């Protein structure tokens, strides 16, 4: 850092001088840590799921749906057939049940390639699975039938609808105009907000705004040493203007199947001179008989800049004088009561989700899958706020920023996608925030096979807990043996019944500390079941023998 304007841009387009090259190599190296970890995990998980599917006692093409949480659940599941052929029937059914479920088949109809043969594109799909056992699986096969669902869409009115929500899009503002919670007959969206619901907002900041932030954040005695390394300021032009920008996404389309319906706002195709223009598109998806909305923002061709900037995914909720709840690491907090004075109340993080509640303790939940940093009430980079004050019902998810002069990447350009799940909360409890967030962040997974099958049952439970809101953070072998670690995340101390997989034949569960030290006498396991008391917001670990 240390350049801006024409000097920086010349450096950028000509390949950087050695100092800048060294920085960009370091950023790429650190970014690849997470990328490579994800690639390794995905490859191993896909292999294990395929092995599971191949060993289920079923013949032919089948989908095994796996649940990575310790309670029974349903939800959307995506799949891709890795072998030849295409999906002939848009319906599936579980081998241990009778209910037939519609499938959304992605892709266009098969087309001729170079005038010879066809390109089979119908190998990708998704459907809503039900009653998938805890840490277990359920097998689905394709069957004949006519799909039907209570999903509606109107391109002229720019609406999509399922049993729980009606969503109306606003092409002029490139956002969602209205979301009607049909169960409670309430409007989710504050249409009078300065920023639209689901809108992409790009901002860059002036030197005066950065200096204001620094004067509020850095103690005077550290001004000379810490201003330069804390945030961009001194080398910014004094005449730099504040920019607030939302690309126009004024075209609308609906993609409808019996399984789900998606509305999309997108920009017109640019001409050759503007092909690399900074743009964005917004989608909202409703699933048949599912009480949530999946929203996705795609940003393309965002140019790199050394000017301090940020991108925001905007969610102004129709909740007057809301109270907020934040799912943090292992707990839920009220920022008005639980954060220390001197914290930055203009910029917070969530590990699970955010709830906005009215005076009747009802409202809405939001789980960001890709952008966990947020500003509440207003965008958060032009000032430092060390105490809590009443906020408007707005959540701004921070997609990117380059405000800081140390520890973080100093400029970024390219494409990104950010996903968010939304739901209504009739009466708030911490579990009403934590459980939907965990289910969004840990979706149902699929394994696929097309062989003669094996000996495993077509549906089976794994590790099971008697209540929701508890995360399993470890279950497997280490140097001490088989370790099971639970983490209570809702603030509810309780007794919990733990049911182990039937093949384990375990005899006792010895409570241990996070370091593996024995803390209490062993608990007896009867029929692979034992009872444990777990404290609020606390871990509980066991050595299973």
Complete DSSP assignment for 439-492: HHHS--EEEEEEES--SB-SEE--SEESSSSEEEEEEEEETTEEEEEEEE-SS-
Q: How far is CA 366 from CA 281, 405, 509, in A?
A: 20, 31, 37
Q: pTM for the whole thing?
A: 0.94
Residue 497 CB coordination number (10 Å) = 12
What are the structure tokens assigned to 272, written together? Answer: 């050759």
Do 397 and 380 contact (CB within 8 A), yes or no? no
Alpha carbon 214 to chain centroid distance? 32
Q: State the pLDDT at residue 122.
A: 66
Q: Which helix (H) or strand (E) holds 523?
A: strand 523-524
Alpha-carbon distance of 465 to 494, in angstroms, equals 12
Say how far apart CA 95 and CA 82 lie, in whole Å.
22
Q: The tokens of 245 are what?
A: 């920008």
Using DSSP's 3-state secondary structure scheme, residue 268 falls into coil
* Residues 75, 126 contacting (CB under 8 angstroms): no
Contact present, 476 and 482 (Cβ < 8 Å): yes
Query: How many CB atoms lie under 10 A from the CB of residue 38?
Result: 10
| 289-292 long-range contacts, CB within 8 A, separation 24+ | 289/128, 289/149, 289/150, 289/162, 289/163, 290/74, 290/75, 290/76, 290/128, 290/162, 290/164, 291/164, 291/183, 291/423, 291/424, 292/164, 292/421, 292/422, 292/423, 292/436, 292/440
Give, for all 545 residues of the chain, the pLDDT tens digit: 577 888 888 888 888 888 788 888 888 998 899 999 999 999 999 999 999 999 999 999 999 999 999 999 999 999 988 766 667 778 999 999 999 999 998 764 444 444 444 445 567 899 999 999 999 999 999 998 877 778 999 999 999 999 999 999 999 999 999 999 999 999 999 999 999 999 999 999 999 999 999 999 998 898 888 888 888 888 889 999 999 999 999 999 999 999 999 999 999 998 888 888 899 999 999 999 999 999 999 999 999 998 999 999 999 999 999 999 999 998 999 999 999 999 999 999 999 999 999 999 999 999 999 999 999 999 988 889 999 999 999 999 999 999 887 778 889 999 999 999 999 999 999 999 999 999 999 999 999 999 999 999 999 999 999 999 999 999 999 888 999 999 999 999 999 999 999 889 899 999 999 999 999 999 999 999 999 999 999 999 999 99
Cα–Cα distance between 215 and 410 in angstroms, integer? 21
Half-sphere exposure (Cβ direction) of 49: Cα atoms closer than 13 Å: 26
pLDDT reported for residue 461: 97
Per-residue pLDDT, 145: 83
**CB neighbours of residue 475 within 10 Å:** 18
pLDDT at residue 112 in the model: 45
Which of these, 317, 318, 243, 315, lies nearest to 282 by C-alpha position?
Answer: 315
């Amino acid at each position: 850092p240390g350049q801006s304007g024409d000097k920086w841009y010349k450096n950028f387009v000509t390949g950087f001088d050695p100092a800048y090259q060294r920085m960009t190599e370091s950023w790429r190296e650190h970014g690849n840590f997470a990328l490579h970890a994800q690639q390794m995990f995905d490859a191993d998980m896909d292999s294990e799921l395929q092995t599971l599917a191949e060993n289920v006692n079923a013949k032919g093409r089948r989908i095994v749906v796996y649940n990575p949480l310790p309670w029974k659940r349903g939800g959307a599941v995506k799949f891709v057939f890795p072998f030849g052929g295409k999906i002939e029937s848009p319906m599936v059914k579980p081998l241990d049940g009778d209910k037939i479920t519609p499938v959304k088949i992605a892709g266009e109809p098969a087309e001729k390639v170079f005038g010879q043969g066809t390109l089979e594109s119908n190998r990708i799909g998704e459907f809503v699975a039900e009653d998938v056992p805890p840490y277990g699986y359920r097998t689905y096969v394709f069957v004949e039938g006519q799909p039907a669902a209570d999903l509606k869409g109107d391109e002229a009115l720019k609406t999509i609808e399922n049993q729980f929500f009606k969503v109306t899009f606003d092409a002029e503002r490139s956002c969602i105009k209205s979301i009607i919670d049909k169960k409670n007959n309430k409007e989710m969206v504050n249409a009078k907000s300065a920023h639209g619901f689901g809108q992409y907002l790009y901002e860059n900041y002036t030197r005066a705004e950065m200096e204001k932030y620094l004067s509020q954040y850095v103690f005077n005695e550290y001004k000379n040493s810490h201003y330069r390394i804390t945030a961009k300021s001194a080398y910014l032009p004094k005449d730099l203007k504040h920019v607030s920008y939302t690309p126009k996404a004024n075209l609308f389309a609906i993609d409808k199947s019996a399984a789900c319906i998606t509305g999309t706002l997108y920009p017109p195709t640019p001409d050759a001179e503007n092909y690399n223009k900074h743009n964005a598109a917004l989608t909202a998806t409703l699933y048949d008989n599912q009480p949530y909305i999946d929203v996705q923002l795609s940003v393309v061709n965002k140019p790199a800049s050394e000017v301090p900037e940020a991108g925001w995914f905007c969610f102004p909720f129709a909740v007057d004088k809301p109270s907020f709840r934040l799912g943090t690491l292992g707990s839920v907090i009220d920022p008005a009561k639980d954060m220390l004075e001197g914290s930055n109340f203009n910029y917070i993080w969530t590990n699970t989700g955010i709830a906005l509640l009215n005076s009747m303790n009802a409202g809405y939940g939001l789980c960001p899958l890709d952008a966990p940093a947020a500003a509440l009430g207003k965008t958060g980079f032009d000032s430092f706020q060390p105490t809590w004050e009443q906020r408007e019902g707005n959540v701004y998810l921070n997609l990117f920023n380059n405000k800081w002069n140390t520890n973080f990447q100093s400029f970024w350009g390219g494409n990104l996608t950010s996903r968010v799940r939304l739901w209504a909360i009739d009466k708030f409890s911490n579990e009403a925030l934590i459980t939907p967030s965990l289910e969004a962040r840990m979706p149902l997974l699929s394994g696929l096979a097309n062989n003669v099958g094996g000996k495993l049952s077509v549906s089976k439970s794994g590790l099971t807990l008697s209540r929701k809101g508890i995360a399993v953070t470890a279950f497997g072998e280490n140097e001490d043996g088989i370790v099971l670690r639970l983490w209570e995340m809702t603030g509810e101390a309780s007794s919990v019944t733990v049911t182990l997989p039937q093949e384990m034949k375990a005899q006792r569960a010895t409570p241990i500390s996070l370091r593996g030290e024995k803390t209490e006498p062993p608990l007896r396991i009867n029929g692979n079941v034992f009872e444990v008391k777990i404290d609020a917001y606390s871990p509980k670990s066991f050595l299973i023998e």
